[in-house]
Structure 1
Amino acid sequence: MRDLDPAATSASDLAAMRVDYGDPLVIPAEETDLDETWVAGGWEPLLRGWIEQARAVGVAEPNAMVLATVSLTGPAPRPVARTVLCKGLSPEGVTFYTNYDSAKGTQLAADPYAAASFVWPALARQVHVRGVTERVSAEVTAAYWAARPRESRLGAWASRQSRPVASRAELDRVLAETTARFADVDDIPVPPFWGGYLLRPDEVEFWQGRRGRLHNRIVVRIDGQTTTVERLQP
């Protein structure tokens, strides 16, 4: 085995990597501590505001969220996570779109409970949304589909998402065939196997980084028409 450069080893020491969240380069000096009053108007306005603030400071894809589902195919349930884009936000929940036959789609069909985490290290903020998913209506899916670029529509038709493929060349071949298939179609229709999900939260947690790892955590719990808010220890 080739000897590693000690300097390179030191530079890549994961245990030594840390950011002091009290640094004004990470958190604006004028920012106050997150507390229960920030969600007095509900969880959705604060999440929307944080997404917008992340966009304003140049965070790439500030609507990206890590979506975790439950796989029941093995001897025991296991979590599976991947990054998707939030494409809708309302007091009812967060919306994302995918192939219904993908791994996440089949997992949600078997167990609709999911969790989504928004993470913006540049702002030392996170939001975790947990709850049950449901498919959105065909009308909601169609409205979003209409706003998708043509290339994205073709990709949705061409990809058997999460299935094995022999090579990139094979994937490109199928895309070329799909492009030819719809060459004379101006308005490519929504595939029957594709659409949106609403993650309807029963719990939304807001996290704000603070010095010495004494972070602020505020959780909103939703039970029907009843909402409770409490602070959690970091």
Structure 2
Amino acid sequence: MPDLSQMRQEYVSKGLDRNDLEENPFKQFEKWFKQALEAQLIEPNAFTLCTVGKDLKPTQRTVLLKMYDEKGFVFFSNYNSKKSKHIDENPNISAHFAWLGLERQVRIEGTIKKISKAASMKYFLSRPKGSQLGAWVSHQSQVVNSRSILETKFDEMRKKFSNGEIPFPSFWGGYQIVPTYFEFWQGGLNRLHDRFVYELKDDNSWEIYRLEP
């Protein structure tokens, strides 16, 4: 078994203080997200989504954030996928952004729901043609014997829709994460990391508090 006990990275950021934080967690997220973009991190909109179905077994996968505002965070998926079946069974989710180049993480907890068909269609039509075809080709999470099968299906779809716009697939669309909890994590010296939580209260205000590392 490889010994990884000596692998460690000392965090050297100046840390995070309560006075550094926005009062609204969505504005704090936007601030950090813009800084991740400016730092040219690889796919800063990638995040890990954790779902738990009725079997109570958690499953994680990386998805891409495509839009956000103070109503929530939106990504897109096949509605017949494993993640979608979990969401149908249990709308409680957790999301995790890892911006390690900035020694930062953001953890979000909340519920999830489908966005409107019109909003999903608008985004679908903005996608490159190859991505539109890919949505039609993939029966997401289903077993397939070889990549060549997918490539053959892709060619068939490309020929089928070669004379016009690619139609919107009814089995595909967006989900919106509605947060009730944010944690902003900033790496610190000697493993004394800074962790601040925003928790949604019954009156829709956000309580902010610090956690021990």
- From 180, 185, 190, the equivalent of 1:207 is 185
2:154 alignment partner, SS class: helix
Contact 2:22 2:28 in 1 (8 A): no
Contact 1:93 1:199 in 2 (8 A): yes
**Cα deviation digits, residues 185-222 of structure 1 (max 9, x gap):** 2x222210000011000101100000111100000011
After TM superposition, the score normalised by the length of structure 2 is: 0.94
Matched, 1:125 2:104: yes
2:5 alignment partner, SS class: helix
After TM superposition, the score normalised by the length of structure 1 is: 0.86
Separation in 2, partners of 1:96, 1:160: 18
1:15 alignment partner, SS class: coil
Matched, 1:15 2:5: yes
| Structure index of larger Rg | 1
**How far did 1:176 drift?**
1.1
Taking a change above 3 Å as real, the CA distance of residues 89 and 212 of structure 1, as seen in their structure-2 partners, is same
Structure 2 unaligned runs (5+)? none
Which amino acid in the other structure matches residue 53 of structure 2?
S
Contact 1:67 1:81 in 2 (8 A): yes
Which residue does 1:34 correspond to in 2?
A: 16
Which residue does 2:200 correspond to in 1?
A: 222
Separation in 2, partners of 1:173, 1:167: 10
Matched, 1:232 2:206: no
Which residue does 2:47 correspond to in 1?
A: 65
Which residue does 2:79 correspond to in 1?
A: 100
Which residue does 2:132 correspond to in 1?
A: 153
Separation in 2, partners of 1:226, 1:50: 21
**How far did 1:46 drift?**
1.6
Matched, 1:84 2:72: no
Separation in 1, partners of 2:23, 2:207: 12
Separation in 1, partners of 2:210, 2:23: 17
**How far did 1:39 drift?**
3.8
Matched, 1:116 2:109: no
**How far did 1:79 drift?**
0.8
Stretches (4+) displaced over 4 A = none
- From 28, 37, 42, the equivalent of 1:46 is 28
Separation in 1, partners of 2:211, 2:150: 47
Contact 2:196 2:210 in 1 (8 A): yes
Matched, 1:170 2:159: no
Identity over aligned pairs, percent = 37
